[in-house]
C-alpha cells in the first residue's frame, strides 16, 4: 500500500529566497495594550494595523500566500466583551478593506468553522471571497474559529463519506485535498509573535515541515524589519525533508518517488 509511505513533502520547494507561503500566529495584542495601561482590545485594534502592513509587505516581497490566525476555536473561552470586540473588528475590517484588497489583486479566503458566526459576518465573508476569487497576486487566508484538529477531523469525515470502499487504505494524498487549506502549498515559514513557542492548534497537518520562527516582538510592534528578520532566518535554513545534507547537493532530488519496500541494505538515495 504505497499510500502508507506517501509523504506530502516529497518535493523540495525552490528556495527562491522568499517563502512562497507564510503562516503567522499573531500573538501579543493584549500584552501590548497592558504595557501601555490600555484595555486589551486596544491591542487588537493596533494589531489590525499590523495586518494591513503585513499584507502590503508580503505583496512587495513576492510572497504568494499569507495565512493569519485571527481567532482560534479556543478563543471563545475569552471574556464575552473581548470576543464580541474581536468579531466586530472582523466585520469592520471586511467592510473597510475588501475593495482595497481587490484593487491590489489579493484573493481573500476565510477558513474555520464559520457556522458559529452571525449571518451578517458570514455574508460579508462570502461576499469578500466571491469578489476577490479571481485575484492572483497574494492569497490572504484568515483563519477564524479555526482549529487544526477540527480541520483534520472534518477532512477525514469528508474522505470517509466520499470513499467508504477505501476505508483503512487512505493515504496522505487522499486526505490533503479535503483540508480547508487544500488550495495552498504547505507553509514554508511559520512565524509566532509574542514570545510563546507553541502551535496553539493552528495548522497541525500543514506545518509538518515548515520552518519555525518565534519572536518576542508583540504583534502590534511587528513591522517590515521584523518580517525581513524572519525571512532572513528562513533563508539560512537547510530544508532537508528527512534527507541528508549531501543528498541535497544532488541535482535530481526535486521529486523522489515514495518507496514501496526497502530492505536494510538497499542503497536508495531518494
Q: Is residue 25 within the footprint of ligand IPE (CB under 6 A)?
A: yes
Site string for ligand IPE, 143-162 (x = CB under 6 A): --------------------
Residues within window 198-237 making contact with ligand IPE, judged by CB under 6 A? 198, 200
Could you tell me whether strands 106-111 and 138-146 are parallel, antiparallel, or unpaired per DSSP bridges?
Answer: parallel
State the residue number with the nearest CB to ligand IPE. Answer: 30
Please state, in angstroms and rounded to a whole number, the distance separating the CA atoms of residues 159 and 65: 25
Please state, in angstroms and rounded to a whole number, the distance separating the CA atoms of residues 4 and 265: 21
- Tell me how many degrees the CA angle 68-70-71 measures, rounded to the nearest 5: 140
Q: Is residue 196 within the footprint of ligand IPE (CB under 6 A)?
A: yes
- Near ligand IPE by CB under 6 A, which window of 26-34, 175-183, 241-249, 257-265? 26-34
Check: CB of residue 111 under 8 Å from CB of residue 144: yes
Roughly how many angstroms between the first and final C-alpha of the chain, as a whole number?
18
Distance of CA 151 to the CA centre of its chain: 12
| Nearest in space to 184 (alpha carbons), one of 235, 109, 133, 257 | 109
Nearer to ligand IPE, 28 or 128 (CB): 28
Check: CB of residue 73 under 8 Å from CB of residue 116: no
Selecting among 27, 29, 145, 151, the annotated active-site residue is 27
27 is an active site residue? yes
User: Which of residues 30, 112, 128, 187 is near ligand IPE by CB under 6 A?
Assistant: 30
Selecting among 75, 104, 135, 201, the annotated active-site residue is 75
Residue 213 three-state SS: strand
Q: Which does 201 bind (CB under 5 to 8 A by kind): ligand IPE, Mg ion, none?
A: none
Q: Which does 72 bind (CB under 5 to 8 A by kind): ligand IPE, Mg ion, none?
A: ligand IPE
Q: Is residue 65 within the footprint of ligand IPE (CB under 6 A)?
A: no
Nearer to ligand IPE, 86 or 111 (CB): 86
Please state, in angstroms and rounded to a whole number, the distance separating the CA atoms of residues 28 and 40: 10
| Nearest in space to 54 (alpha carbons), one of 210, 230, 236, 237 | 230
269 is an active site residue? no
- Near ligand IPE by CB under 6 A, which window of 66-74, 147-155, 167-175, 250-258? 66-74
Q: Is residue 36 within the footprint of ligand IPE (CB under 6 A)?
A: no
| Nearest in space to 212 (alpha carbons), one of 220, 224, 200 | 200
Q: Is residue 75 within the footprint of ligand IPE (CB under 6 A)?
A: yes
Least distance from ligand IPE to the Cβ atom of residue 114, Å: 15
Least distance from ligand IPE to the Cβ atom of residue 11, Å: 29
| Nearest in space to 193 (alpha carbons), one of 32, 57, 25, 50 | 25
Q: What sign does the CA torsion over 252, 258, 260, 266 have? A: positive
Q: Is residue 27 within the footprint of Mg ion (CB under 5 A)?
A: yes
Q: Which residues bind ligand IPE (CB under 6 A)?
A: 25-31, 69-72, 75, 86, 194, 196, 198, 200
Q: Which residues bind Mg ion (CB under 5 A)?
A: 27
Active site residues: 27, 75
Amino acid at each position: 500500500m504505497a499510500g502508507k509511505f506517501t509523504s506530502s513533502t516529497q518535493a523540495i520547494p525552490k528556495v527562491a529566497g522568499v517563502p512562497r507561503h507564510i503562516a503567522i500566529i499573531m500573538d501579543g495584542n493584549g500584552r501590548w495594550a497592558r504595557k501601555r495601561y490600555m484595555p486589551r482590545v486596544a491591542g487588537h485594534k493596533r494589531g489590525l494595523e499590523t495586518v494591513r502592513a503585513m499584507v502590503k509587505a508580503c505583496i512587495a516581497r513576492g510572497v504568494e500566500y499569507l495565512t493569519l490566525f485571527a481567532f482560534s476555536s479556543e478563543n471563545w473561552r475569552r471574556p464575552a466583551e473581548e470576543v464580541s470586540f474581536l468579531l466586530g473588528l472582523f466585520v469592520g475590517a471586511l467592510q473597510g478593506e475588501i475593495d482595497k484588497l481587490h484593487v491590489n489583486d489579493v484573493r481573500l479566503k476565510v477558513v474555520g468553522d464559520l457556522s458559529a458566526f452571525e449571518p451578517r459576518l458570514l455574508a460579508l465573508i462570502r461576499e469578500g471571497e466571491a469578489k476577490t476569487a479571481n485575484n492572483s497576486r497574494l492569497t490572504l487566508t484568515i483563519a477564524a474559529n479555526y482549529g487544526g484538529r477540527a480541520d483534520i477531523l472534518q477532512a477525514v469525515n469528508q474522505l470517509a463519506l466520499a470513499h467508504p470502499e477505501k476505508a483503512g487504505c487512505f493515504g496522505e494524498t487522499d486526505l490533503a485535498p479535503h483540508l480547508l487549506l487544500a488550495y495552498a502549498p504547505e507553509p514554508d515559514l511559520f512565524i509566532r509573535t509574542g514570545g510563546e513557542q507553541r502551535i496553539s492548534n493552528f495548522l497541525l497537518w500543514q506545518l509538518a515541515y515548515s520552518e519555525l520562527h518565534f519572536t518576542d516582538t508583540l504583534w502590534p510592534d511587528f513591522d517590515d524589519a521584523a518580517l525581513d528578520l524572519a525571512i532572513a532566518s528562513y533563508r539560512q535554513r537547510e530544508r532537508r525533508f528527512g534527507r541528508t545534507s549531501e543528498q541535497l547537493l544532488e541535482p535530481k532530488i526535486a521529486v523522489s518517488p515514495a518507496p514501496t519496500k526497502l530492505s536494510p541494505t538497499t542503497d536508495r538515495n531518494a
